[in-house]
Amino acid sequence: MAKYIYHYKDWTQFIWQDKVINTVFGDVRNTQGKINGQMNALGYSAKEEATLTTLTLDVVKSSEIEGELLNYAQVRSSIARRLGINTAGLVPSSRHIEGVVEMMLDATQNYKKTLTQERLFGWHAALFPTGYNGPYKIEVGQYRTGEMQVVSGPMGKEKVHYEAVKSELVKTEMDKFLTWFNSDENLDTVLKAAIAHFWFIIIHPFDDGNGRIARAITDLLLARAEGSGERFYSMSSQILAERKRYYEVLQKVQYSKGDITEWIDWFLHCLKNALHETENTMQKILRKAEFWKRHEHTPINERQRLVLNKLLDGFDGKMQTSKWAKLTKSSTDTALRDIKDLIEKNILQPEKQSGRNANYELVNY
């Protein structure tokens, strides 16, 4: 049987080839600086909006990697409430969503805090507030006491992709990981994020939720690398987009004798793609910020603000009076009054070919 990386003596003395990763590493550091510079030139509310959007994506996409679909509006509301961001149309969210958000915000906002066993246990308990994952009871807020295999496929035909460190060794391995995490100051923090993600996944210390916690640890270190809890790009969204390759590289490097160049190279490319993706999203955020700046003295009611924000975020489909009424939980008459008011203020206009059931769009957007 092929040996896993942790079967080798001193397996955590990872090595990598600088010449392979230098170019992409330089690109990542460069783009990070560029994006932070552009963001810092923005007004407070635009930065707030960017952080809110990024953190929401991070939470939603990190869960989606595990096959769990969270409600975007509920996640966004939960984050906005906790960060004290005043946003229209706040919706109540479930206990489960509150827990996932709690973990992500602790990682990104308290990035300077030491990572301890207790803190990790708190994250784990927040992820599984009922002590169950679906119908399955799991060990919560503690390291696993059973063996751990990563498998796929139907019952009876399961394929084992990975067998993690033995349960009796988990505590020792995690102590070693946390000591390194909290003390190795000589390593660039972006590289540290790549290594920490891999190392944590190899130990697989929990009964469930290891992937989400590994990504939270990554976000903590990326926030530390930038010296800021403001998040402008989502690593989890990019991992989801490159999920197939993510698992392929993990599976390959788990058999290495200690050289993790291929993993670091993939991680840095993924991070670079996440940063470029943000440059596109940023244009949207800038336009939205510009819009609200232009209309900061225009009288706009809460219903109008709610729908305008949806249109600015790229509303799916056509905006009609009936949809407006549904979104704002108001009557068709009220919706029509709101729309006419915005047409008079030169904010909305009927689309040119919209016929009897008029579709409305933003003016000059």
Residue 295 lies in a domain: no
Same domain, 94 and 117: yes
In terms of Cβ atoms closer than 10 Å to its own Cβ (0-12, 13-18, 19+), residue 151 is exposed
Assigned domain for 75 exists: yes
Are 282 and 318 part of one and the same domain? no
Show which of 255, 289, 323 is a domain's final residue.
Answer: 289
| CA atoms in the 13 A half-sphere facing the CB of 136 | 7
Q: Of the candidates 227, 254, 289, which is a domain's last residue?
A: 289
Give 12-55 pLDDT, tens digit per residue: 999 999 999 999 999 999 999 999 888 887 778 778 888 998 99
Q: Is the pLDDT of residue 238 over 90?
A: yes
Long-range residue pairs from 31-36, CB within 8 A, at least 24 positions apart, any chain: 31/272, 31/275, 31/276, 31/279, 32/190, 32/225, 32/226, 32/275, 35/232, 35/233, 35/275, 35/278, 35/279, 35/282, 36/226, 36/228, 36/232
* pLDDT at 356 exceeding the cut of 70: no
Task: Report the CATH number at residue 339.
Answer: 1.10.10.10
**pTM, full prediction:** 0.84
**Is 99 contained in some domain?**
yes
pLDDT one-digit tens code per residue, 154-212:
888 889 999 999 999 999 999 999 999 999 789 999 999 999 999 999 999 999 999 99
Number of domains in the chain: 2
The answer, yes or no, to whether residue 354 has pLDDT greater than 60, is no
pLDDT for 297-331, tens place per residue? Answer: 999 999 999 999 999 988 878 899 999 999 999 99
Instruction: Judge if 330 and 219 occupy the same domain.
Output: no
> What value does the mean pLDDT of the chain take?
93
What is the pLDDT at residue 247? 96
Residues 141 and 179 in one domain: yes
| Domain endpoint, select from 227, 261, 289 | 289
Q: Tell me the residue range of the domain where 340 lies.
A: 301-362
Q: How many C-beta atoms lie closer than 10 Å to residue 331's C-beta?
A: 10
Residues 179 and 313 in one domain: no
